[in-house]
Amino acid sequence: MQELIRKIIGDAALQVGKVRLDAPALVENGNAVPLTVSVESPMTEKDHVKAIHIINEKNPQPHVISVRLGPRAGRATLSTRIKLKDSQQLIAIAETSDGSFWTGTADVIVTLAACVEDRL
C-alpha cells in the first residue's frame, strides 16, 4: 500500500486533514460498500482539488479509483460503492492545485467478505 501511495504523491508530503472519508464502520456484506469522499476546497480557478484517489489495504487490487476534477466541478465530492475482501482501512488522497496532498481514512469491519473465489 505504501508503494501505491508513493506512486500517487511522489516525494510530496501527505498531510492529514481537509479530506473526509465516510464509510459504514460495520458492513454485513463486502460486495457493495457505500462510501463518500468530500474535500474542503473553494473550488476556484486558483484553489481547487485536481484529483481524488481511493485505495485500500487488503483487496487484491488496492487502487480502487482515481477521479480528476477541475474548478468547474463546483464541489470536491465523490460517492461510489466498492467491494471489500475483508475488514480493512480505506484511504482517500486529494491532490490540490497548489501541489499538496491531503488524506483521510476510514476503518470498515466486514462480516461477509467479497473478492473471494470458490475453488473446486
Q: Which is it for strands 26-29 and 101-112: parallel, antiparallel or unpaired?
A: parallel
Query: Would you state the pLDDT for residue 13?
Result: 93
Structural domains in the chain plus CATH codes: 2-112 (2.60.40.2470)
Query: Would you state the pLDDT for residue 64?
Result: 92
- SS3 readout for the chain: CHHHHHHHHCCCCEEECCEEEECCCEEEECCCEEEEEEECCCCCCCCCEEEEEEEECCCCCCEEEEEECCHHHCCCEEEEEECCCCCEEEEEEEEECCCCEEEEEEEEEEEECCCCCCCC
Nine-digit cell at 56?
485500500
Query: Would you state the pLDDT for residue 117?
Result: 56
Q: What percent of the chain has pLDDT over 70?
A: 93
- Across the chain, what does the average pLDDT equal? 91
Query: Would you state the pLDDT for residue 118?
Result: 53
User: What are the tens digits of pLDDT across the range 93-116?
Assistant: 999 999 999 999 999 999 876 665
Q: Is residue 46's pLDDT more than 60?
A: yes
Q: Is residue 49's pLDDT more than 90?
A: yes
User: What are the tens digits of pLDDT across the range 19-38?
Assistant: 999 999 999 888 899 999 99
Q: What percent of the chain has pLDDT over 90?
A: 78
Nine-digit cell at 41?
476546497
Q: Is residue 1's pLDDT more than 90?
A: no
CB atoms within 10 A of CB 3: 7
User: What are the tens digits of pLDDT across the range 53-79?
Assistant: 999 988 888 999 999 999 999 999 999
